[in-house]
């Protein structure tokens, strides 16, 4: 009667599995407050396995293709040695593309975990509530209307994403933005922006329309080192901020009132997480286009694998990296020699996953 039928685990269960590692050196101001890290063996193992899988995808990506490069040569190139042929193919073509995929995927996974936690709903991810469409609109305006170069595309994307997220958040706000209202408002705003995007594409010249459409689908074709460095800088700034937010976000999952009673500055944590998530979404969209569903799926799959509560920020990041790099190599090889943009694959697979999640949830009578 107790364990098999009730989905909710006994409250003591997960807490008992976590070891607390007090870090004495990091004593925070105030009596008896130490910074401790929750350590969940299962989550750690899942994270390590995901990282291994991503490494395997990396090896596969770097060695295979039209031109086979043995692992030893890849290692030499990585170490900076000169290998004729492999230098260019690995160092200039495959490696930057792989790194871009890993870093964009990581940013998307992390932003998905942040958004889903503050929306307290698995569907509150940036691609469902219109933030990616908004940054795409910003980028399309810079490309097609202002005719600006690659650097300003990022600026347009960030502005578009920030404006959209502010609009969605304000429109959904009625003494709190949580729940389905946020998602429905996001769906409304994104259908408005989709119309605007279609309009921009129809107005453009054919060549511009074609490249904009490829970009709008989400693609990693021809990504080079400049994209890698953009993403490295993004994650170097926003990653630590997300880590700092992880602990108060976990407490927010108990509800805003409880968290506030436990001393969490709810407003500040929510708006901080929103800002970090917007930055991650906007810059990864600027680099790879609005790649659909990675931000939605990564935290969801991680939650099923780790069975841990909380935002699972680190594992979601690794999962995002794995998902996008795997999708990209699959999209390149599936219809070879024709190369599909990666967004087609993540869109179809991620959309089917969403259908499955909804069907499962509703059959069991939730939502």
Task: Give contact residues for another protein (rule: CB under 8 A).
Answer: 123, 128, 171-172, 174, 179-181, 183-185, 187-189, 191-192, 194-196, 198-199, 201-203, 206, 209-210, 213-214, 216-217, 292-293, 335, 338, 340-341, 343-348, 350-352, 354-355, 358-359, 362-365, 367
CB 110 within 8 A of CB 280: yes
Angle at the Cα of 128 (from 157 to 306), degrees rounded to 5?
A: 110
Here the tokens at position 341 are 């943009």
- CA distances 84 to 66, 80, 87, 94, 329, Å, are 16, 12, 6, 15, 24
Give the sign of the dihedral formed by CA 205, CA 206, CA 211, CA 212: positive
343 contact partners, CB below 8 Å, separation of at least 6: 217, 218, 219, 289, 290, 291, 292
Cβ proximity to another protein, 79 vs 202, nearer residue: 202
Cβ proximity to another protein, 72 vs 191, nearer residue: 191
Cβ proximity to another protein, 219 vs 317, nearer residue: 219
Q: How far is the CB of 208 from another protein (least distance, A)?
A: 11
CB 280 within 8 A of CB 108: yes
Q: How far is the CB of 166 from another protein (least distance, A)?
A: 14
Q: How far is the CB of 1 from another protein (least distance, A)?
A: 22
- Phi, psi of 126, rounded to the nearest 5 degrees: -60, -25
Can you tell me which residue has the tokens 């499955």? 356
Number of H helices, E strands in the chain: 15, 2
Q: How far is the CB of 117 from another protein (least distance, A)?
A: 19
Cβ proximity to another protein, 167 vs 241, nearer residue: 167
Cβ proximity to another protein, 233 vs 352, nearer residue: 352
Q: How far is the CB of 220 from another protein (least distance, A)?
A: 14
Q: How far is the CB of 118 from another protein (least distance, A)?
A: 18
Angle at the Cα of 169 (from 165 to 175), degrees rounded to 5?
A: 165
Which among 346, 214, 342 is positioned nearest to 292, based on CA atoms? 346
Cβ proximity to another protein, 148 vs 171, nearer residue: 171
Cβ proximity to another protein, 238 vs 295, nearer residue: 295
- CA distances 226 to 96, 143, 278, Å, are 9, 18, 21
Q: How far is the CB of 288 from another protein (least distance, A)?
A: 14
Rg (CA), the chain: 21
Q: How far is the CB of 257 from another protein (least distance, A)?
A: 19
Cβ proximity to another protein, 46 vs 123, nearer residue: 123
């Amino acid at each position: 009667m107790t364990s098999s039928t009730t989905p909710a685990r006994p409250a003591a269960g997960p807490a008992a599995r976590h070891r607390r590692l007090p870090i004495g050196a990091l004593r925070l101001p105030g009596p008896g407050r130490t910074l401790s890290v929750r350590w969940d063996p299962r989550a750690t193992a899942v994270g390590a396995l995901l990282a291994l899988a991503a490494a395997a995808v990396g090896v596969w990506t770097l060695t295979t293709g039209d031109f086979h490069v043995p692992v030893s040569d890849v290692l030499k190139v990585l170490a900076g040695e000169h290998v004729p042929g492999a230098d260019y193919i690995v160092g200039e073509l495959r490696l930057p593309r792989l790194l871009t995929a890993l870093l964009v995927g990581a940013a998307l996974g992390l932003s998905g975990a942040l958004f889903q936690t503050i929306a307290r709903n698995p569907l509150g991810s940036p691609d469902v509530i219109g933030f990616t469409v908004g940054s795409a609109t910003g980028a399309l305006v810079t490309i097609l209307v202002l005719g600006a170069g690659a650097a300003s595309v990022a600026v347009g994307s960030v502005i578009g994403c920030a404006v959209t997220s502010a609009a969605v958040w304000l429109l959904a706000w009625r003494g709190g933005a949580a729940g389905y209202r946020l998602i429905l408002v996001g769906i409304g705003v994104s259908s408005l922006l989709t119309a605007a995007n279609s309009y921009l594409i129809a107005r453009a010249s054919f060549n511009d329309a074609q490249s904009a459409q490829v970009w709008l689908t989400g693609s990693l074709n021809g990504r080079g080192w400049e994209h890698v460095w953009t993403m490295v800088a993004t994650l170097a700034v926003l990653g630590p901020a997300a880590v700092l937010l992880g602990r108060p976000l976990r407490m927010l999952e108990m509800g805003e009132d409880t968290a506030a009673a436990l001393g969490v500055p709810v407003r500040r944590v929510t708006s901080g997480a929103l800002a970090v998530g917007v930055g991650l979404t906007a810059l990864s969209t600027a680099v790879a286009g609005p790649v659909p569903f990675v931000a939605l799926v990564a935290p969801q799959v991680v939650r099923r694998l780790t069975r841990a509560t909380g935002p699972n920020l680190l594992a979601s990041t690794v999962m995002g990296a794995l998902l996008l790099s795997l999708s990209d190599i699959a999209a390149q090889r599936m219809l070879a020699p024709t190369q599909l943009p990666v967004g087609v694959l993540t869109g179809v697979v991620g959309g089917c996953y969403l259908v499955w999640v909804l069907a499962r949830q509703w059959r069991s009578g939730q939502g």
